[in-house]
Structure 1
Amino acid sequence: MEREFMEFDVVIVGAGPAGLAAACRLMQISRDTGKEITVCVVEKGSEVGAHILSGAVFEPKVLDELFSDWRDTGAPLLTPVTEDEIHLLKSDSASRQLPNALVPKTMHNHGNYIISVGNLARWLAGRAEELGVEIFPGFAASELLFHEDGSVKGILIGDMGVGADGKPKDSYMPGMELHAKYTVFAEGCRGHLGKQLIAKYHLDNGKTPQHYGIGFKEIWKVPADKHQPGKVVHTGGWPLTQGASGGGFLYHMEDNQVVVGLIIDLNYQNPHLSPFDEFQRYKTHPLVAQYLEGGERLCYGARAITKGGLNALPKMSFPGGLIIGCDAGTLNFAKIKGTHTAMKSGMLAAETLAEALMAGVTEGKDLDCFQERFDHSWLADELYRSRNFGPAMHKFGTLLGGAFNYIDQNWFGGRCPITLRDEKPDYAQMGLASDYPKIEYPKPDGKLSFDKLSSVYLSNTFHEEDQPCHLRLKDERIPVEVNLARYDEPAQRYCPAGVYEIVEEAGQPKFVINSQNCIHCKTCDIKDPSQNITWVTPEGSGGPNYPNM
């Protein structure tokens, strides 16, 4: 069908830190040079920040570069880090604090801030609009558009008001095409369109497979006598044992609020493992529980994390645009931080695009010059120095991997003459159910641990129920005939929102998708051992509505 369209110099998909930093920097260059640049940002969440979830401890040097006046203009950096601890949880009750002298220096947080990345995005959006950026929240970029020569032309905003049967409802509104000289993809981890771009243009050729984790986060309101503003606690070890790896965090924010979370690497092998239930167990450890007991849980969410680092970073340019931030995988896992690196990738993208636009470079060309700008930036240096961190933890485990990383970071400054690689994709690590013991998780107590449905309720997730399912199966037979038979269908457990179930119908197992529960974490798209599930964008504004995550 012929659709209406709008034209811009640059269209940015995703109003997260990377996309908004790119938009702001583009308009700053436009203002400073007097060259008009039209920029549009499309965001699938109901508002900017609604779909953003991150720890987060933030390194402000990138904000100094983008807005040197941020301290005077209301940036939501309210809680400077005052105390930094790392503990090894040896069992469900025992722990040991590591002396700072034995901690990789990348994990020291002096000068950083505990923040809500969602609120940072809202502030960046305000600055972007002041500079002249057009931001469209509530509209999902559903498809790529191409020129005849195969270069990217722009995106299609998904139709609204389509029923589950694929037919238009009374509320039907056709999607609009957004055309651009260059399109920037900043969708976050495992972006729906970014994934297609990487495959189409073979951007990951010669790279190790991308690696992921799933991160859980809750915000608690705690008694004043348990609150220590600015305190940062990281943990390793329990409950992630027997082949699972990752780590926990606990941050004391402002207003008697404490953030608690757990990151679980998605290369775990036991198909009976439930990441959600591991997080619930984590909160019962005395080291963590001491801060939460007597408090009230305010928010819950989960999101996949791109953590392959430099070894897995794809080529970030392609004919007609760039892929940036966590869509590409710029997170520095050695620091457990991705916001400042995502923003820097957006700023580098903006400088590259502005240079091309001002030089009159024909639209649709491959912006190969981005790579040179990236290679000469502190971002490339930082990712190079942390390239071994994740592979070391995967290969050697928490203790030996931690020892390797201490030596690499503290003795060699991240320039150890060895590059470790992890060549096996996360989904391929899944073992057969018959080869691993089942895990009996305790029932939630309603005080520190909770069930999935009550947790999803706190994520404020909403989808229009009468719409096409956005969780697509390549083969509807595989969940029962393959995944249930071989792996006891792990989607029942790795999904943090209770989307997938096996029920009995007429005496036979049936795979059920409760897509209205989906919190857009993308774990199913990553971890399904048969790679049978594809996450696509639902109708715009659907999904979680995180207030301060």
Structure 2
Amino acid sequence: MITPQALLEQFGPRESMDYDVVIVGAGPAGLATAIRLKQLAAEKGQEVNVVVLEKGSEPGAHILSGAVMDPRALTELIPDWKEQGAPLLQPVTGDQVLFLSADGAQQTPDWLVPECFHNHGNYVISLGAVTKWLGEQAEALGVEIFPGFTAAEVLYDEQGRVKGVATGHMGLGKDGEPTDNFQLGMDLLGKYTIFAEGARGHLGKQLIAKFQLDAGKDPQSYALGIKELWEVPADKAQPGLVVHTAGWPMDGDTYGGGFLYHLEGNKVTLGYVVGLDYQNPWLSPFEEMQRWKTHPSVRQHIEGGKRLGYGARAITAGGILSLPKLVFPGGALVGCDAGMLNASRIKGSHAAIKSGMLAAEAAFAALAEGRAQDELAAYPAAFEQSWLHAELLRAKNFKQWFKKGNTVGALMTGIEQWLMPKLGMKVPRWTIHRTEADHTRLKPANQCPKIDYPKPDGKLTFDRLSSVFISNTNHEEEQPAHLTLKDASVPVAVNLARYGGPEARYCPAGVYEFVNKDGADQLVINAQNCLHCKTCDIKDPTQNIVWVTPEGSGGPNYAGM
């Protein structure tokens, strides 16, 4: 395989383009950053050149969320979003919080439901549709958006400051050698570079490590969210109903829960979230989601309907105690690249938009002062004074309590987010810290009970491959695999031998499978199935799997999700 340096020597140098601000990721955080920069420039009569790179085929193609959206940040960014046609079409009309047993359910009385689970004033949405609309707003303001281009490499200057990113090469063969269609990547240089890649960002992870942005912080914690979109019979539609469940099928020591939201147009979006700190390597988040749908309290909403879409995505769930330092010389992290999601509310889009706005305001002020590639200290300072910081601070212990078991988690969430507000206390006076990263939590397979999952019926429950098919996932098969191994011997020698090969179960797309060939076990990686959820990069117990960017436009193309 030809090395990156050899490619540059043979085909280089790379072409470059200069901008004031380069933004990696056209999700809510990245687009909010771009829009706010252009708004400020218009207000001040100045010019700011902004480019946004998006690895999906268009803004929204790779976006996956529940989603119930709090419009607070969007209203700050675009006050007339309703008049501008934002696709927030279905207000929440009711909340249900259910605790499930294997054959029953207990609904929490409304007066006992913590404020974090109340959704009055929020909207049931397709976040992909909202993101596409935000992209249109950004382009109308003059933002350049380059869909289908991956940011594959962070570029640094002689002082070690971030000066931009390089896009991935196109036209490499499976062996890593250039084909007749080879095109060298391009350098996009910026006075500031904002990283908005979402949870477990490929470049964000590198920046956190290089600049030690997580020093002194709790390890980041993640969950995997698996989602389906259904069309249901008209007599089952309850537009605006929001249902959250806890309990079955999870055991009392495993973090997880379900969501089911009724959209407009007889659509229902539903899914299951499993904390990636789970201990039993035989657990399959995908199978747990399929089993959860068979519960009477869930199946009554979708039985007789048709499944339209499927997807999966990792979620940052560590909260404010796991937030890294947000800035470094030359740039910043925003949205879920930093970990801004509020796990207690199961919401991140409002946090992504707000963080992008705050970063934009700091970057614009720096540009106006003629500064470049320094630390945008005004961004974390503004964040600490914002309503978003106050919201995350109030939920600081949420995931940590649930790590002590679902009973303790439910009790303490009730105390911190129901009882304490009623007593006039806004923030818990105690702090519960974590010390273990998710990948360290798996127990050896021989210490855990195997889980016998039922076979799918093809009507209510399904297998992984048929699910991936309706995610519209596609990768150019001749490109180098974007799921890489540091050591090819580890999957069999360690993961299979000690943990029973958990990658064959934690991946929601059937990417990893162990096969026996000529009497020897080996791991097969079906990279073309990859949903870009990042679960393998997070949960692999040996941290031997590294997700890198595939060619642009590769991956899912979610519709209505």
TM-score > 0.5 by shorter chain: yes
| Aligned: 1:509 with 2:521 | yes
How far, CA to CA, are the matches of 1:411 and 1:299 in structure 2?
39
- The 5 A counterparts of 1:103-502 are 103-241=113-251, 243-361=253-371, 363-395=372-404, 397-413=405-421, 414-502=426-514
Does the 8 Å CA contact 1:393/1:402 hold for their aligned counterparts? yes
Equivalent residue for 2:532, pick from 520, 523, 527: 520
Q: Structure 1 counterpart of 2:96, which letter?
A: E
Does the 8 A contact of 1:7 with 1:178 survive in 2? Answer: yes
Q: Is the 8 A contact 2:151 2:167 kept in 1?
A: yes
Distance 1:101 1:417 in 2: 24
Distance 1:436 1:242, change over 3 A: farther
Q: CA deviation at 1:131?
A: 0.7
State whether structure 2 residue 28 is matched by structure 1 residue 17. yes
Cα distance in structure 2, aligned partners of 1:109 and 1:387: 20
> Shift of residue 410 of structure 1?
2.0
CA contact (8 A) 2:277 2:439 kept: yes
SS of the equivalent of 1:74 reads coil
1:342-384, CA deviations, whole angstroms, 9 ceiling, x for partnerless residues?
11000000000000000111x2211122221111111111110
Partners of 1:27 and 1:70 lie apart in 2 by: 17
SS of alignment partner, residue 436 of structure 2:
coil
Q: Is the 8 A contact 1:394 1:422 kept in 2?
A: no
CA distance in 1, matches of 2:337, 2:97: 29
* Whole-angstrom distance in 2 between the partners of 1:75 and 1:437: 48
Distance 1:71 1:116 in 2: 15
Q: Which runs of 5+ in 2 are unaligned?
A: 1-7
Query: Within 2, Cα distance between the matches of 1:476 and 1:416?
Result: 46
Letter in 2 for 1:530: T
Tell me how far apart the structure 2 counterparts of residues 377 and 238 of structure 1 sit (CA, whole Å): 37
User: How far does residue 400 in structure 1 lie from its aligned partner after superposition?
Assistant: 2.0
1:14-163 equivalences in 2 (<5 Å): 14-91=25-102, 93-163=103-173
Q: Is the CA contact (8 Å cut-off) linking 1:138 and 1:540 kept in structure 2? A: yes
Please tell me the root mean square deviation across aligned C-alpha atoms, in Å.
0.8
TM-score (norm 1): 0.99
Once the two structures are superposed, residues 84-122 of structure 1 have per-residue CA deviations (whole angstroms, 9 ceiling, x without a partner) of: 00000011x211101122221111000000001111111
Q: Distance in 2 between matches of 1:515 and 1:110?
A: 41
- Could you report, residue by residue, the CA deviation over 1:227-248 in whole angstroms, capped at 9, with x for unpaired residues? 0000000000001115321110
Count of paired positions = 546
- What displacement does 1:401 show? 1.0
Q: Percent identity?
A: 58
Deviations 1:493-522 (A, max 9, x none): 000000001001110101111100101000
SS in 2 for 1:129: helix
Residues 236 and 246, structure 1, Cα contact 8 Å, conserved in 2: yes
Distance 1:104 1:420 in 2: 19
CA distance in 1, matches of 2:479, 2:72: 43
Distance of 2:370 and 2:123 partners within structure 1: 41
8 Å Cα contact 2:477-2:528 kept in structure 1: yes
